[in-house]
Amino acid sequence: MPASDGTVLTIGHSTHSMDAFIELLQRHGVTAVADVRAAPYSRFNPQFNRESLAGSLVARGITYVFLGSELGGRSDDPSCYENGRISYARLGGTPSFQNGLDRVAQGATSQRIALMCAEKEPLECHRGLLVAPALEARGVSVAHVRPEGGLEPHADAMRRLIALHGMGDAIEEQRLFPRSHAERVAEAMNRQAHRFAHRKEAPTDDSKPPRRRNRELQT
């Protein structure tokens, strides 16, 4: 697909080598990567640390832009949390997030953009559960780059999500009052967000000795 068609891609770096990752980008004509990780570093895949990644991409003619402050899946704002878990509805309504969407939508008119996060599965990542739906709500088409290299339109990912939660068409037709596709997507998204949205770590009490988890640690 050409850069000018306006479709925004998403991709997870997962455990790819840098060469394999860039090959995926080039296969789909990506000209710019927008990093939507709130913390753009990886302990286990340091090739995707912000500085290393940016250098590798630029060397291959691909622009790198950090948008984790605008479109990251966590926030320093307490009002974006409910019971210690990030609320995608609240985060998505912040001016910063909306500004990030503006930048992506505008950039997609001239660049082939891939939004990058860490998880290989978009249904387990805020790029698929928050950013992609928000872009599509604005009329921006989104597709997800699968680890094996194929493209999955966001609408297909949503159908896969409702099937994952036992709300596919065949099952829904057996209900006395079947729900609409949009209603099922909304419920499945809420369930998925409850599983995968960022949670704040509980504060630790340094005055208490650490608990010993097993007998081996007691020797």
The answer as to whether 169 is a domain residue is no
Quick check: 211 pLDDT over 60?
no
CATH number at 123 reads 3.40.1010.10
Higher-scoring residue by pLDDT: 159, 174? 159
What's the CA gap between 54 and 94, in Å, rounded? Answer: 27
Q: Residue 93 is part of which domain span?
A: 3-153
Q: Give the mean model confidence (pLDDT) for residues 87-110.
A: 98
Higher-scoring residue by pLDDT: 178, 37? 37
The answer as to whether 197 is a domain residue is no
**104-157 pLDDT tens trace:** 999 999 999 999 999 999 999 999 999 999 999 999 999 999 999 999 999 999
- Which candidate, 6, 12, 2, 214, places its Cα nearest to that of 105? 6
Return the pLDDT at 136: 98
Return the pLDDT at 113: 98
Return the pLDDT at 103: 98
Quick check: 175 pLDDT over 90?
no
How confident is the prediction for the chain on average, in pLDDT?
A: 90
Q: How many domains does the chain have?
A: 1
- Residue ranges of E strands in the chain: 8-12, 32-35, 63-66, 81-82, 85-86, 113-117, 142-145, 151-153
The answer as to whether 165 is a domain residue is no
Return the pLDDT at 203: 52
The answer as to whether 55 is a domain residue is yes
The answer as to whether 49 is a domain residue is yes
The answer as to whether 34 is a domain residue is yes
The answer as to whether 41 is a domain residue is yes
Pairing of strands 63-66, 8-12: unpaired
CB–CB of 189/165 below 8 Å? no
What's the CA gap between 116 and 154, in Å, rounded? Answer: 15
CB–CB of 76/36 below 8 Å? no
User: What does the CA dihedral 45, 62, 136, 154 come to, rounded to 10 degrees?
Assistant: -50
What's the CA gap between 67 and 60, in Å, rounded? Answer: 20
Q: Give the mean model confidence (pLDDT) for residues 71-81.
A: 96
The answer as to whether 137 is a domain residue is yes
Q: Which residues pair with 26 in a beta bridge?
A: none
Angle at 185 between CA 184 and CA 188, to 5 degrees: 85
